Amino acid sequence: MKGFKRQKRTRQEPQQRTDSREEQTDLVKKDAKLEDVLLENDVLSAKSKSVSRRDLLKLAGVGGLGLLLGGGGVGAVLTASQRLESMMTDADTKDVVPFYGKHQAGIVTPAQDFICFAAFDLTTSDKERVRSLFKAWTEATATMISGALIGNDNENLNLPPSDTGEAAGLSASRTTITFGVGPSFFDGRYGLAELKPAGFRELPRFQGDALDDQWCGGDIGVQVCANDLQVAFHALRNLARIARGTAVLRWTQEGFQRTAQADPAGSTPRNLLGFKDGTGNPDTSKADEMNRLVWTQASDGPAWMGGGSYMAVRRVRMRVEVWDRSTLGDQEDTFGRHRSSGAPLGKAKEFDELDLAATSPEGKPTTPPTSHVALAHGDGSINILRRSYSYSSGLDKQTGQLDAGLLFISYQRDLFKQFVHIQEKLARNDKLNEYIVHKGSAVFACFPGVSQGGYIGDTLF
C-alpha cells in the first residue's frame, strides 16, 4: 500500500504546473506509464522483500490481484499478476483447489484425507443477517482454501486476532468447503418457503434405523475436507466463530481416509471393516455422467439449484467387535467382494465387471443376492456419488465398545430417486445390517458454485 500512496503524490505535482489541456493530456499519459513502472517496481520489490507465498495465495484466492494493486491500469495488473503467479511454485498451485466456479468444490473433487463435517442451526429470524453470514463465510472460505489467515488483525496486541491461528505456517492442503441448506431452512422464518425444492425433506426412517437426535438434521450443512486434519479443523472452527450471534453448531463429526503418504498409489480407500469402499463410484471426469447423476439441472427446478447437488449424510456405527469374530468367507459374502483385491466374487481385479447372474458349479449365485454390492448395484441404472470417511469417536461408555464407523456422504441429482431408492433395498435385506446401525441422518441442498464478486447462496437470496 505504500507504493500506491507514492503514486498519488507523484501524479499531483506535475498537474499543478500545467496550463494547457494538451499538456495535461500528455502528462496523464506519462503519469499512466509512470504508474505502471512504479507498480511493477513495487511488485518486484515485494518479490524480494515483503510478499510471501502465503500473501500471494491469499491475494489470488480472496479478490484477485486488482484489489491489492489499487485499480492500476489493466495492463499493469496483468503484468503484475503474471509476475506474481510466476512466483508461485507447482506445489502451491497443486495444493490449492479453486474456490470460484460453476459448481462448489468438494463434490467431484478427489476426496482429501480428512473431513470435518458440521451442521448448524440458525438462531436469527432476520434474513439479512443470514445473507450477511453467507457473505462473511464466502470471504473467509476464499481466504482459508488459499492457505492464508483470515483478516488483517493478527499482529495487533490490542485486539483479539482475526484468525484463530492454528493453521499458521501450514499449507492450503487442498482444502475445500462445501455449503448446503437443510429442509428446515425453508420453514418460513426467512420468507423462502416458496423456493424450497419440490419434495425436499428429511429422509424417511428406514428399517433398522436407530437414529439419535444428536446426529440428525440442521439448517445448514458444511463439509470441510483437507489433506491435513488441523487445517480442516481450523476452517470449521473459524466458520463457527464467524457465525456467532447468527448460527450455532448442532452437531459435528470428524473423519479420515488413508493418506497419500500411506498410499501413494491413491487406491480405493478401505472402510473400518477392511473392504474397499467406493469402487462402484461413477467417473467424475465424465461431465455428461456428472450432469446425469450429480448436478441438479435447470429443468429440475428450482432455478437457484441449477448446478448444485443434494447431499445425503448418514452416521453409520459399525459393530467392529462382532465383525472381527466372523470368518473371512462370511465377510466376503456380506460385501460380495474379495477383501484383498476388492474384486467381485469370482473375479480377480477390483474393477472387473460385476456379474450378478454368474453361478457356481453347484448352481448357486456367485454373488449372494443379499450381499451389499448386489443390492446397491441392482440393475445398474441408478447410481450415486459416494464421498464417505471413516470415523472413530472413542469409546461408547454404555457398551464398552468402540464408537467407530462410517460418515457416509453421497451426492446426487435427486435424493429420493437415487439415494432413497437404494437405501430402502439395503435397509430391508442387506447382509451388512447385522454389523452396522444408522445413528445419524441429514440432507442438504448444496448451492451451485460461486462467481467472482458473488457469495455462497446468492442464487437463493
H or E element, residue 404 = strand 401-412
Whole-number Å distance between alpha carbons of 112 and 12:
53
> Which of 72-81, 116-125, 335-344 has the lowest average pLDDT?
72-81
* pLDDT band (50, 70, 90) for residue 37: very low
Eight-class DSSP state of 100: B
Q: What is the pLDDT of residues 186-212, one digit of tens each?
A: 998 999 999 999 999 999 999 999 999
Rounded to 10 deg, the angle between the 74-87 and 21-48 helix axes is 10
**C-beta separation of 157 from 193 below 8 A:** no
Q: With H, G, I as helix, E, B as strand and everything else as coil, classify residue 235.
A: helix
Count of CB atoms within 10 A of residue 145's CB? 26
Q: Percent of the chain at pLDDT above 70?
A: 80
**pLDDT greater than 80 at residue 106:** yes
Please provide residue 179's backbone torsions phi and psi, each rounded to the nearest 5 degrees.
-115, 145
**pLDDT greater than 50 at residue 62:** no
**pLDDT greater than 50 at residue 406:** yes
* pLDDT band (50, 70, 90) for residue 31: very low
212-230 average pLDDT score: 98
Overall residue count recorded for the chain in this entry: 461
54-82 average pLDDT score: 45
> Which of 16-30, 210-224, 305-319, 349-363 has the lowest average pLDDT?
16-30
Amino acid present at 201: R
pLDDT of amino acid 13: 38
DSSP string, 276-311: B--TT---TT-HHHHHHHTSPPGGGS-GGGTT-EEE
Sign of CA dihedral 190, 448, 304, 253: negative
- Cα atoms in the Cβ-side hemisphere of radius 13 Å centred on 402: 17
**pLDDT greater than 70 at residue 345:** yes
pLDDT of amino acid 94: 79
Closest listed residue to residue 108, CA positions, set 239, 253, 290, 259:
290
Q: What is the pLDDT of residues 148-197, one digit of tens each?
A: 999 989 999 999 999 999 999 999 999 999 999 999 999 989 999 999 99
Number of H helices, E strands in the chain: 13, 9
Amino acid present at 170: L
Q: Which grid cell sits at 426?
A: 439395503
Place of cell 464407523: 405
**pLDDT greater than 90 at residue 440:** yes
**C-beta separation of 331 from 274 below 8 A:** yes
358-362 average pLDDT score: 94
214-228 average pLDDT score: 98
Q: What is the pLDDT of residues 292-340, one digit of tens each?
A: 999 999 899 899 999 999 999 999 999 999 999 999 999 999 999 999 9
Q: What Rg value do the Cα atoms of the chain yield, rounded?
A: 26
Whole-number Å distance between alpha carbons of 412 and 324:
33
Phi-psi region of 94 (alpha: psi -120 to 50; beta: other; left: phi over 0): alpha
* pLDDT band (50, 70, 90) for residue 86: low
pLDDT of amino acid 438: 98
Place of cell 450455532: 248
Given 3-state DSSP classes, what are the helix, strand and coil percentages for the chain, each rounded to the nearest 5?
Answer: 35, 20, 45
- Please name the residue ranges forming H helices in 324-441: 328-335, 372-377, 421-429
pLDDT of amino acid 56: 54
Mean pLDDT of the chain: 86
Q: What is the pLDDT of residues 238-293, one digit of tens each?
A: 999 999 999 999 999 999 999 999 999 999 999 999 999 999 999 999 999 999 99
Count of CB atoms within 10 A of residue 194's CB? 8
Q: Which grid cell sits at 38?
A: 512504479
Centroid of chain to Cα 68: 27
Amino acid present at 254: E
Please provide residue 129's backbone torsions phi and psi, each rounded to the nearest 5 degrees.
-70, -35
